[in-house]
Chain A
Amino acid sequence: MGVLDPLVELLRGLWITLKSMGEKPVTFQYPEEKRSVRPRFRGRHVLKRYDNGLEKCIGCSLCAAACPADAIFVEAAENTDEKRFSPGERYASTYEINMLRCIYCGFCEDACPTEAIILGDNYELSFFDRRSAIYTKESLLEPVPASAMLTPQKVEAGEFPRSVPEMEDPRK
């Protein structure tokens, strides 16, 4: 340690800040320039569909039971072959999530037996009143590519008897 060190250190600090002026800013110009989220990011929920357009949600309310913040409300109704929303007996006629209560823990995702609810990558949730903080089934449901795939669908009798699809054994 030299005698002039206090002075040298002060000047070195000045040099470092001056040098950093030449660096490229790390700012993302947010609304125009969006940063992609991480693979395990938990954003706004999405209600998934099968490839044929039927909803995965069967209205079992397990997500509502698992929710620690009590943010989810599910009401189930019976499916018929004339008006089929999801495979199996029942579907969610009402599905509401209060985004002001949700803590994005992902327990609903874990509880779901049909993998119908997924925490997506949308984090741009803003609203002007409490009423619009409650996201309904219409806003949560995944859009479909063709209008023929919209629910309710008219299907042949006995085509979708099971509400939980046969899943692959993860051990295989």
Chain B
Amino acid sequence: MISDWTLWLEWFIKSLVLIFALLGGFAYLTWYERRALARIQTRIGPNRAGPFGLLQPIADAIKLVFKEELTPAKAFKFVFFLAPILTVVPSIIIAAVIPWGRSINVFGREINLYLADINVGVLYFMSIASIAVFGIVLAGWSSNSKYAMLGGLRSTAQMISYELSLGISLIPVILLSNSMRMIDIVEEQGALWYVVIQPVGALIFWIATLAEVNRAPFDMPEAEQELTAGYHSEYSGMKFALFFMAEYQKMIVICAVMAVFFFGGYLGPGVDQYPLLGPVYMFLKIFVLLFAMIWVRATWPRLRYDRLMEFGWKVLVPLSLAIVFITATGILLAEQTKNELWMWAIPAVSVVVGLIPVVAIFRALRRLSYGRA
């Protein structure tokens, strides 16, 4: 049993730092997104509150805290109250398994730069990620409003569909690293990032995470033109802020997970000598991946709902299953023939297989355009 009180203290401090980092990250991610989106649209973005608008998140927070909170008269009050909490808590605790670095020496004490080192980190990530859908569907249902209900239902269907390909696209990574521990997965990428061996897997994971956090072009649950604000139509004030917070924290966390699985996590030049560089590399990778999310949002239009479902079930799920098969075969061949070159067949074959749905989509689109003409 753990009797060392300093260990408890260490965990406590680390959790506190992590939570505050996520909260601060959430606040400044909104600023980052607004500025980046504005630049893409040749605007400036928020630049009034403080230098470069850096105090904008604080102003927003103050506004949201002091806003009146409305509860619809016929809402299921308890669930209505519970839903934002159910959404925001998974988005925070999911960050517990993310490794931010190796270990550093503080006052003669080894401090590991991760909160929880569990041997089924990938499973933990998957299971917590799927809890978030409860908050959304309960919010939609308890609001007693059509728009919220439709938004919540869409969200549930979408998240369940894409979670499947999300999970399957992680299996090749587990096969390659031979472990479900996040730290093992990172350390295995010392020579080569998994994105090189698993380009299609990384792409599927990326698309599925976009759908999982309800970001454009998969922001179906909150499609303004159709559903006003989707599942959080009836929420205001701090409760709305919690949904907002959950969405952005999930973005951060999922980019961190993406960095861990495919982009070498905290690894980078010089991290062996200076372990403190680990979090810096993580931060940089998350920063770049978040930019990709914002970039995609600024570029691509939202998918129609039936096409979203078709894409999830008819393209992503079979494709990710094929990638699992290809990876397993490649690893087996490399082991049996003792020839590492077989590993290189994995990216080559998976890219070829990945082109099959592209061709299929092209043919489907051509058929549609003939039908119109």
- A: residues with CB less than 8 A from B are 1, 3-7, 10, 13-14, 16-18, 20-21, 23-27, 29
Contact between chains at A14 and B358 (CB < 8 Å): no
Residues in B whose Cβ lies below 8 Å from that of A6: 358, 361-362, 365
Interface string of B295-322 (1 = CB under 8 A from A): 1101110000000000000000000000
Given A20-B42, A21-B40, decide whether A13 and B300 contact each other with a Cβ distance below 8 A: yes
A3, B43: Cβ atoms under 8 Å? Answer: no
- A14 in contact with B42 given A6-B358, A6-B361 (CB within 8 Å): no
* B295/A3 in contact, CB under 8 A: no
Cα of A3 to Cα of B366 in the assembled complex, Å: 10
The answer, yes or no, to whether B352 is at the interface (CB within 8 Å) is no
14 contacting pairs across A/B (C-beta < 8 A): A1-B362, A3-B362, A4-B358, A6-B361, A10-B300, A13-B299, A14-B299, A17-B40, A17-B298, A20-B42, A21-B40, A24-B42, A25-B38, A25-B39
Do A17 and B299 contact each other (CB < 8 Å), given the known contacts A5-B362, A7-B358, A25-B39?
yes
Give CA–CA (A17, B361) in the complex, Å.
24
Is B41 part of the contact surface with A, judged by Cβ < 8 Å? yes
A29 to B365 alpha-carbon distance, docked (Å): 44
Q: How far is the CB of B325 from chain A (nearest CB, A)?
A: 23
A17 CB to closest chain B CB (Å) equals 4
Chain B minimum-CB-distance residue to A27: B44
Which of B44, B299, B362, B366 has the most CB atoms of chain A within a 10 A radius of its CB? Answer: B299
Residues of A within 8 A of B361 (CB): 6
Interface set, chain B 322-372, CB cutoff 8 A to A: 355, 358-359, 361-362, 365-366
What B residues does A24 contact at CB under 8 A?
42
7 pairs of A and B residues whose beta carbons are closest in the complex: A17-B299, A27-B44, A23-B42, A25-B44, A13-B299, A21-B39, A17-B40
**Does the CB pair A25–B42 fall under 8 Å?**
yes
When distances are taken between beta carbons in the complex, the residues of chain B under 8 Å from A7 are: 358
A21 CB contacts on chain B under 8 angstroms: 39-40
Q: Which B residues are CB-close (under 8 A) to A5?
A: 362
Given contacts A3-B358, A6-B362, A6-B365, contact A14 B43 (CB under 8 A): no
Do B41 and A20 have beta carbons less than 8 Å apart? yes
Interface residues of B in 17-53 (CB under 8 A from A): 38-44
Given contacts A4-B362, A6-B362, 6 further A-B contacts (CB under 8 A): A5-B362, A10-B300, A16-B299, A17-B298, A25-B42, A26-B42
Q: In the bound complex, what is the Cα–Cα distance between A154 and B42 (angstroms)?
A: 59
Residues of A within 8 A of B358 (CB): 3-4, 6-7
Distance in Å: Cβ of B218 to nearest Cβ of chain A? 14
B369 to chain A: closest residue by CB: A1
User: Please, how many angstroms separate the alpha-carbon atoms of A5 and B361 in the complex?
Assistant: 10
Q: Given the complex, which residues of A lie within 8 Å of B298, measured CB to CB?
A: 17
- Bound CA span A18–B298, Å: 9
Q: CA A40 – CA B358 in complex, angstroms?
A: 54
Q: How far is the CA of A29 from the CA of B47 in the complex (A)?
A: 10
Determine if A14 and B365 form an interchain contact, defined as CB atoms under 8 angstroms apart: no
- The answer for the CA separation of A13 and B39 in the assembled complex, in Å, is 16
Inter-chain contacts of A13 with B (CB < 8 A): 299-300
Closest chain A CB from B265 CB (angstroms):
25
